[in-house]
Structure 1
């Protein structure tokens, strides 16, 4: 058994985006991501072998897809991203910590 709290140990200021595995097996990975104004690098896209289901638990963010689609996410919003769908984080709220929960699976 493992137990925790998704909102524990959140720094007051985040210099670099923080990625933390909560559970990691050969079939699934559940990750907490903390952002505060960080975005993906200008060049390149996330192009993952895994499907990703992600929900914003706190804060606000924006994802941009290589087809030009832009998706705004606020607390409670989630999105499912199929494997090899190129995307990037184009904005996160610089005035508060955005807490993401991401589930990656094959």
Structure 2
């Protein structure tokens, strides 16, 4: 058995978000995302075919899903993003890593 910790040995993520696939099985993919000051460009929302459940493990971020107001996420907050929905990460903390756990469901 190999025990690992999602919050240790984090990538710097200073130029771009860092994505680490943790598990991939038919119909499900789990990844850790590390952000540090990144945001989604206003004119280029993220849209994916599959549903996504995201949990903020550490740090803070702003998130907006189409037709809704921006919300601020803190450690422990989680959100469901339905497949096909436009969404934007409006900001992430610059002074410390923002660590997400994302579960993608086909």
Which residue matches 1:60? 60
Which residue matches 1:21? 21
Does residue 99 of structure 2 align to residue 99 of structure 1?
Answer: yes
3-state SS of 1:31 partner: strand
Q: CA deviation at 1:95?
A: 1.1
3-state SS of 1:29 partner: strand
Q: Is the 8 A contact 2:11 2:18 kept in 1?
A: no
| Cα distance per residue 1:62-102 (max 9 Å; x no partner) | 11123142121000100111111110111101111000000
Q: Is the 8 A contact 2:51 2:80 kept in 1?
A: yes
Q: Is the 8 A contact 2:13 2:35 kept in 1?
A: no
Which residue matches 1:41? 41
Which residue matches 1:83? 83
**Closer, same or farther: CA 83–2 of 1 in aligned 2, 3 Å:** farther
Q: Which runs of 5+ in 2 are unaligned?
A: none
RMSD between aligned residues = 1.6
TM-score normalised over the length of structure 2: 0.90
3-state SS of 2:39 partner: coil
**Closer, same or farther: CA 80–8 of 1 in aligned 2, 3 Å:** same
Q: Is the 8 A contact 2:11 2:34 kept in 1?
A: no
TM-score normalised over the length of structure 1: 0.90
